[in-house]
Each structure stands twice: as C-alpha cells, then as structure tokens.
Chains A and B, each alone.
Chain A
Amino acid sequence: MPEIANTETSVGSSNDRSTDVPDFSNWTCPLPLAGYPTIVMGHGGGGKLGNELVEHLFLPAFRNAALENLGDAAVLNLPSGRLAMSTDSFVVQPLFFPGGSIGELAVNGTVNDLAVSGAVPRYLSASFILEEGFPLAQLAAIVEAMAAAATTAGVRIVTGDTKVVERGHGDGCYINTAGIGTLREGIQVGPNRAKPGDAILVSGTIGDHGMAIMSVREGLEFESQIRSDCAALNGMIGDVLDAAGMAVHAMRDPTRGGLASTLNEIAQASGVGIAIDEARLPVRTEVQSACELLGLDPVYVANEGKAVFFVAPEAAEQVLAVLKAHPLGCDAAVIGQVTAEHKGMLVARTAMGSNRVIAQQIGEQLPRIC
C-alpha cells in the first residue's frame, strides 16, 4: 500500500482544503479521563481506565436503555419474524477524510448491508481496537460521528467492546460493527434473483468515496475537493421498497471493488448477463478527472453511499422517480439491463458504440506508471 499519512499530519494540521477534517490542535478533554490525553494499555485492561472510557465517552454518546444496563450482553425486544444479521470491520486510513470518518463508515456500512438485504436495521454492536498512544480527542470525534450517524440511520448501538494493542501493532483505530435488522414483509431480494429483462439502476454518482480517500491518503491535491458519499441508505431503500415491493429483485451497495465488482457478482450469482451503457454511468467530473490522472477506472472505485437496484422493467420508471425524489438519490440513473446472453459476465457499451467486457478485478487497482 502507499505510504500512509500518519494521523498527526492528516488530522492535526488545519489545511484549508480539508475543511471538514476536524482540527484537534486546541482540544482539551471535557471529561475527567484520569489525565491521559492518549490511549494507554490500561484503557483495554478492564479496570478503572476502561470503565472511564465507557462512562465518560461511549455511554453519553450512544445512550439508550439496552446499553445502559452495561451487562455482558444487550437484551433486546424484537418483533417476531425473520431477522437479518451482518458484520463488517473498518480499517480505513486516514481515519478522517472529506465527507466523513471511520465513525460514520462503521455505522453506515453495517446499516447499508442490512438495508440492501431487505431488512430494517435496528441494533448495532461496536467494537474498538485501539493502538496505544491514539489521541483521545480523535477517539471522541469518532464516537461522536458514530452517534450522529446512528441517530440519522435510526439505529441504536447497544453493546460494545474496547481492546488496546501495543504501539506499532495497530493503525490507530479499528472498528468492528455488527447489526441486526428485521426483514420487511412482502419483498424477496437477493443477489441470485436478478432476471433477464430487469432494469439496473444506480442511486447516484460512482467512485466518490474511493477517490476522496485517495485524494487525502496520497497527498494528491486536486483543484476541487472530492467528498466521500458515506451515507445510510436505509431510508432511501425503504422508499423504493414501499413503492415497488416485489418488483425489486436484487439490491447491493457497491463498496470495495466498486460498481464493476457488484455487477459481476450479481451476474454470476443469478446466472445472467449484465449489459450497461457507459455513457449513462453517473460520474462527477472531479472524480473522473482524478481517475484519469491516476489511470484508474471509476467503475472499480469504492462507494459508501450508493445502492444498485435490479427491478422488473415495468417498475423502472417508478423506482427512478422515487430515487430522484430522495436527497441521496438525485443523481440516480438507469444504467443498463439484465440479459439472457453472456451469462455471468458484465459487458459495457462504450461511447464509441463498441462493446467491452468489464472483468472482475484481481486485487486493488494500481496507479499506472504513465
């Protein structure tokens, strides 16, 4: 991987191009955290220091009845019916980036995985693996971001854990979240349910998150700032399912590996071909420019606030209208359709009128020499 910006330079410096990266230079701890401005091994030791973190940081931020019991497990009341469960770990660097932080990612990532499975996200767990020496100010900012994201998404963080690893054995802060949601009635979605004829829609511009991360990680300075699209999609997806119900056959949030990986996975899982029209892919000019500069293809770049929908053709117009009416879906577009030909493959019609296969990526995209 490229040289990783250390947290001091990526967070502490208040440069004007990263206006939403917090400035911790004048931060003082509002809480009596035993005088430690940074994480020490004792914070993960199960003693007084660890309790202080819970009482003064996690509890006030995430406060809810299930969490306040501080038992070994949260006890939850759930309606009867089917449940969905998902988990994800977050190791992003830098921890703070234009448009969000690891905190929002950790909440929205799991919320979105539940939502695209057709579930209403309800409860999350949050586990932190912190590196000795990690500034408490940054942890506080991350926790606040998680609390705000949970409120926006309408989920509660009901249980958690903190471990501390020795300096050099972690990357500042890793977060794992797991989530439980209740499956909606009257829908059947899955990556194996796409059918020939289905229209394929994407809820907005692609590649924003990956290029936002790259723009701060690599120290590349673009004229205009690219912001991560990190967002909870459960509200927008709920609107789509309310309107189209059974007409929605498959949904995915195209995160790592980008749109290309998601479409290839669905083509393979459903045993169908997928044809998209490159000219219809929504891509921000600044994202396209940054990709050109680095020799990357936006179809492979990560998103954190976009969903792809496979819907029956007669419902395409309606779903597009619902998406466009939602603040997170204003750039939504129909980008292609499912076909019975070239099963398991993603084929794009180029602007030149020719067709090309968009293959599954092997590893991460590597910037070209020239």
Chain B
Amino acid sequence: MKYLTEFRNGEIAQRMAREIHAIATRPWKIMEVCGGQTHSIIKNGIDQMLPAGIEMIHGPGCPVCVTPLELIDKALAIAAQPGVIFCSFGDMLRVPGTDADLFQIKGAGGDVRVVYSPLDAVEIAAKNPGRQVVFFGVGFETTAPANAMSVHIAKRRGLKNFSVLMSHVLVPPAIAAILESPGNQVQAFLLAGHVNSVMGYWEYPPIAEKYRIPLVVTGFEPLDLLDGIRRAVIQLEAGRYEVENAYERIVTYDGNQPAQKMLAEVFEVTDRAWRGIGVIPKSGWRLSEGYREFDAAERFHITGIHTEESPLCRAGDVLRGAIKPAECGAFGKECTPRHPLGATMVSSEGACAAYFNYGRFLSAEDLATAGSGLTHA
C-alpha cells in the first residue's frame, strides 16, 4: 500500500531507533497528542524500542474518551425517543453513559445507526422526512470539516428534521492547559498529524514560543512516530523549541484552506468540558448563530440528567498524562474492555484499551520472551 507499507519497514525502524539512542543523553518526557498515535505506539511496540530514559506520555487526543459523560447521557436520552434515528460513528456505541450505552438503547428498540460520514446522516434525513435524524458529532479538528459540511448542506437543502449533537474539541487549548497544569512533566509534544492536515500548523508557533517547548507535527505509522520522536529529542538536546513538520507528505503550514473557511462559517469557539479533565476555556466549537437551529441539544431540551462517574476510574489522570493506564488500581481488574469503567477503556484509541488489548498487563520480560519460540524461515 502506497504511503503505508513503506512507513512500516522494520529494518529502517531499528535504524531510526538506534539513531535516537545515539542522540539522547538525558531522560525526556514526550507526549503524543493523538489517541491514534498511542494506539500505533503500543501496537507496534515503539516505546519498547526507545532508550530507557525517553518516556512517551499518552495525551488526551481520543475524541471518544474526552466526550463528557453528560453529553453521552443526552445522546442516550435522544436516541431512546420514539421516531428518532440516531446516527453515530461506530466507536461511540459502546461508550458507557451513567446507566447504559447506545448498544443497549438499540437493543431496547432505539433506531441507532452507524455511519461513516455525517453526510450519510443527512441523506438518511432526506429519505425520512417524517422522522428526526440526529448525528452525534464528536471529535477534534479532524472530523470537524465533514460535520460542518453536513450542517451546511442540511441548511441549504432546507432539512428541518436533521440536527447534530455536538462536542467538538480543539488541540491547541488542550496543549496549553496541560502545560499550565501544576506538576506538568511534558517536555515536548508530537502534534496530531491528521488535525494538522486540516488546520495546518500556523496556530502553534506562539505556543512553542510561550512555553518554550518543541512541537513536532507527526504521523501515525511506526516510521512517522520514530521520526517525530527523533526530531523532538534533537530539539530537546539542543535546547531548541520550534514547530517542526515530520509529516510533510500530508501536512502543510496553511492546512486545508477551504475546510478552515467552512469551519469558520459554521462554528464558533466556545468553552468546552473535557471528560476527566474539566472545562478548558475556548477549547471547543459550537454551531454559530446562523446554524444554531441544527443543534440537537436545543431541539430536544433534555433535562434532568444526573451523571455519575465510577469512583474507581482514573481516566482523567490517564488523559492528562499523570499516570500510565496500568498504574490505575482498577486497570484489568474492575475495569476491562468487557466492563469498562471509563471511556479510555472503550475506544480503540483510548490509552487503557490499547494497553489492555496489546497485553501491557504482562511484565516487560514476559512480552520480550513471548515470541521467542518463533523460527524464521
């Protein structure tokens, strides 16, 4: 596969890892922002290839994980209403609300459908004029253009039965919040390359400057990640703090201009609550005045929601990078992918699920010897 297989070459990966070993003279803590990067790091064992002093801290960039519990409960309440067709990306279905998840709502008779694009939800609305169609629009800047486009098209087509339950979050304010949190240990960031494919990286130089921190736009394949880490370490060792692009085949400085124009028209910046973290000022988008009529939260007026997080769940500490998943007392015990206490154990991009699914509950020695019986032809 072009653009993929050549970035998964084991030999080149080993060479790049050796280079990082040669450059690093001190311990460094580097945060990968995006859950997709966390997934790839753990799946491919990238962290095991790094010098012992270089620690990858897993960031909050999992849209499923940071969607507030209250919004999930709202989604469940809307999806359970008769006549509603509730459309969602697949991995939101298993996220536990206070009492249920979308699978259970579906099992109880709710019309819950997985879509691959919000534009599919618009089509469903057009085909079902007698029913309210709601799209669960969560995500970072990556999914925002398609969500904005869906609302834009629904308005142009005059669809009165389409709305979006929205919780869009933004990377730059989250990075600033992490850097300003007391006890922050992160010394460099791997930026979420797919966010930058939309937004470019023009927003980031002031952050690098203000917090004197290296920011490297990074992709998702093993060689992308190793290159991002390598560049971050070089900057750290040299005392530099710049925005660098290690994902040039996808990301430009300006990003996708038509998409940004659409976002500016449909959305406006708002304060946003992040599950496990709290409210971060100006860290999200909501529908702008001209599109507010498509806001499902306003259309359905769901009230009386009392959320309750599991007292055992430390997803917030995981999302802030304060602890590794296995350091949570409930990890692998009360909390497993089958019985998740928090969203980080549900989403395939969640750090807890990545640790659990790829066997990070085993000791390093167990894993190192696990495949030793393999004979290579």
Contact = CB atoms under 8 A, between A and B. Distances in A.
A2 B89 contact: no
Contacts of A34: none
Interface stretch (A159-167, A233-241, A356-364): A356-364
B48 interface: yes
Interface stretch (B134-142, B153-161, B239-247, B250-258): B134-142
B121 to A, nearest CB: 10
Nearest to B358: A356
A350 B139 contact: no
Interface in A230-284: 273, 275, 277, 279
Given A356-B359, A367-B114, A337 B368 contact: no
B52 interface: no
A292 B4 contact: yes
Interface string B276-305: 000000000000000000000000000000
A351 B349 contact: no
Given A218-B116, A352-B45, A367-B89, A292 B357 contact: no
A295 interface: yes
B344 interface: no
Contacts of A342: 362, 366, 370
B371 A275 contact: yes
Contacts of B113: 1-3
A357 B332 CA distance: 14
Nearest to A336: B374
B83 interface: no
B369 A350 contact: no
A348 B103 CA distance: 31
B4 A352 contact: no
A157 B106 CA distance: 37
B373 A275 contact: yes
Given A345-B359, A354-B48, A370 B142 contact: yes
B115 A354 contact: no
Contacts of A351: 8-10, 13, 44, 222
Contacts of B338: 362
B181 to A, nearest CB: 25
Contacts of A2: 90, 113-115
Contacts of B373: 273, 275, 337, 339, 341
B348 interface: yes
A285 interface: yes
Interface string B190-216: 000010000000000000000000000
Interface string A83-124: 000000000000000000000000000000000000000000
A357 B362 contact: yes
Interface string B44-57: 11101100000000
Interface in A208-244: 218-220
Contact of A362 (B1, B337, B366): B337
Nearest to A286: B1
A334 B374 CA distance: 11
B89 to A, nearest CB: 4
Interface in B46-101: 46, 48-49, 63-64, 89-94
Nearest to A366: B90
Interface in B331-377: 337-338, 347-349, 356-359, 362, 366-377
Given A275-B370, A349-B371, A366-B348, A288 B337 contact: no
Contacts of B347: 368-369
A151 interface: no
B333 to A, nearest CB: 16
B185 interface: no
B116 A367 contact: yes
B348 A295 contact: yes
Interface string B12-32: 011000000000000000000
Contacts of A352: 8, 10, 13-14, 44-46, 49, 222
Contacts of A355: 45, 367-368, 370-371
A289 interface: yes
A295 B42 CA distance: 15
B300 to A, nearest CB: 21
Contacts of B371: 275, 277, 347-349, 355
Contact of B63 (A279, A339, A354, A370): A370
> Considering residues B63, B357, B373, which has the most beta carbons from chain A within 10 angstroms of its beta carbon?
B373
Interface in A293-315: 294-295
A353 interface: yes
- For the complex of A and B, the 9 pairs showing the least CB-CB separation, nearest first, are A354-B45, A357-B359, A366-B90, A339-B373, A347-B370, A367-B90, A349-B371, A2-B114, A369-B89
Interface of B: 1, 4, 8-10, 13-14, 36, 42-46, 48-49, 63-64, 89-94, 103, 106, 113-116, 120, 124, 138-140, 142-143, 194, 222, 337-338, 347-349, 356-359, 362, 366-377
